Amino acid sequence: MKKIVLAAVFTALFGWAVFDLVSSQNETKEEFVVQSNEKAIVSGQDANMNTDYTNTGEVGLNEGNIAPDFTLTNLEGETMTLSDFRGQKVMINFWATWCPPCRAEMPDMQTFYEEKDIEILAVNLTQTESGTDVVDEFITDFELTFPILMDEELEVSLDYQIRPIPTSFMVDEEGVIRYKALGALNYDLMLQAYEGMN
């Protein structure tokens, strides 16, 4: 009888642990509200994305701020640091495989990367994924060749105050944020932001 009671208690505890794990993963995903609108909200810009900006010299998340530096690893374990890309235009994109707008903008991002002189650092919200294998599969399915960085503890995503995903920052050669987009970008919007940095 004691064995049956103990088995029932252990089964209940195991079931609760599994439930708690699954629900905590879902809560993490829900924290990053996905903006499903086709048009991105681009901060502080007119329709032509040619507004002036002021380089404040301060590190921050607004236009004119220097983008906060970070170091992350890719799937192969190689580290990349944002500041190593000074002297180049950089698009920092925060995304996840389960995010439909993220999936929608990836083909345009790949085309943009191939056709323009820009580096793309695609920061994956790895803690919200079911595993790194789904990220690897995603990269293969979409034939992505730009760097995919793994934000395993969401430290960089939290530092950049990411909500919603996708969110993108266009950073100029001096490391200054020139544009910030909340939501998916299409190729034309990427191109306008790029040309606005010239």
What is the rounded average pLDDT of the residues 133-143?
A: 97
The answer to whether residue 198 scores a pLDDT higher than 60 is: yes
What is the rounded average pLDDT of the residues 40-58?
A: 56
Retrieve residue 9's tokens.
């208690």
SS3 143: coil
Radius of gyration over alpha carbons of the chain, in Å? 20
pLDDT for the residue numbered 101: 97
Determine the residue type at 23: S
Determine the residue type at 163: R
Retrieve residue 156's tokens.
């960089």
CB 103 within 8 A of CB 184: no
pLDDT for the residue numbered 56: 77
Summarize pLDDT for 88-103 with one digit per residue, the tens: 999 999 999 999 999 9
Summarize pLDDT for 167-190 with one digit per residue, the tens: 999 999 999 999 999 999 999 999
The answer to whether residue 5 scores a pLDDT higher than 50 is: no
% of the chain surpassing 70 pLDDT: 73
